[in-house]
Amino acid sequence: MHVRKGDLVKVMAGRDKGKEGHIILSIPKENRVVVEKVNLVKRHQRPSAANPDGGIITKEAPIHVSNVMKVCTSCKRTTRIAHKFLDSGKKVRTCKHCGATLD
Ligand SMILES: [Zn+2]
């Protein structure tokens, strides 16, 4: 997975192409991520304790990780990820364009 929970990503393909949002859930096993306000689906829900009236709710559905690209918070461009080792030996992700540290 080239992105992880909390990352700002841009959708590169599909119905929500062009939208940006943060990853709210990653599902590495399926190579899928859930991005806020992206791929919204309507769900019919029975009344429950949390939602006594039931009804229709909109909810994000997972999209494939290959359809999103990370957005660099420094240069604001969609970017591929490079890795760099800090002097401390810690591995961090950096932007291929501007070199900013993304972790
Ligand atoms: Zn950058």
Residues with Cβ–ion distance below 5 A, ligand 1: 72, 74-75, 95, 97-98, 100
According to the model, what pLDDT value does residue 15 have? 92
Regarding predicted confidence, which is higher, 50 or 98? 98
Residue 36 near residue 61, CB atoms below 8 Å:
no
Give me the pLDDT at residue 91, please: 94
**pTM score of the predicted model:** 0.84
**What are the structural domains, with CATH classification, of the chain?**
1-48+55-71 (2.30.30.30), 73-103 (no CATH)
- Residue partners of 96: CB distance under 8 A and separation at least 6: 79, 80, 81, 82
Measured in Å, residue 82 CA sits from the centre of ligand 1 at 11
The pLDDT tens digits for 39-77 are: 999 988 888 888 888 889 899 999 999 999 999 999 999
CA separation for the pair 16, 39 (Å, rounded): 6
Quote the ligand 1 centre to 83 CA distance (angstroms).
Answer: 13
Q: What is the mean pLDDT of residues 25-37?
A: 97
